[in-house]
Amino acid sequence: MKDPVSAELRELAERLIKVAELQANIVIPAIASSNMHKETNLDDEYLASIAKDELKRRNNRRNHLPEFLFSEGGWQILLEMFICEQAGRPVTVKRACIASGCPPTTALRYIAILIENSLIYRTNTNSDRRTKHLILTEKGKRAMRSSLMEIL
């Protein structure tokens, strides 16, 4: 059985190394550009880990405080979509609704707002016409990268 403290310290060390590499190489302009270089893909993987940590922290708050205090369903959806994109997993409308932490009707309104603001778009799946996938637009990806970089 692995020591949980050691594993946590190892993960923290890896994150610090990545932050140091980001700062040393000044890759922020590469992230802001629409050209996806190998270096930027690594940055997106790191930013996805930041998004995952943020989503975990937000979900853990619900263990201590009433859920109604945290009505940021749109942000929750964007975090989930960014994480899933980096992992190569599709995001269905149902998955986005669950990730929002809101009632389904509210989550669907957030999805509509995100689509209206050109941050995401909806597409049909090849296998099941009833299932819709949500995909981040380039504008949505840039906004998420910028937002996640500010968390650093």
**CATH value at residue 131:** 1.10.10.10
Domains of the chain: total: 1
Nearest 5°: phi and psi at 70?
A: -125, 70
Q: Place 34 in a pLDDT band, splitting at 50, 70 and 90.
A: very low
* 83 CB-near residues (< 8 Å, 6+ apart): 48, 51, 52, 55
Q: What is the pLDDT of residues 83-141, one digit of tens each?
A: 999 999 999 999 999 999 889 999 999 999 999 999 999 998 878 888 899 999 999 99
Whether residue 29 is predicted with pLDDT greater than 60 in this model: the reply is: no
Instruction: Please report the pLDDT score of residue 132 as a whole number.
Output: 92
Average pLDDT (42-65) is: 80
- Share above pLDDT 90 across residues of the chain, in percent, rounded to a whole number: 39
Would you report the helix, strand and coil content of the chain in percent, each value rounded to 5?
70, 10, 25
Q: Which domain holds residue 46?
A: 4-151
Average pLDDT (69-77) is: 83
Instruction: Please report the pLDDT score of residue 36 as a whole number.
Output: 41
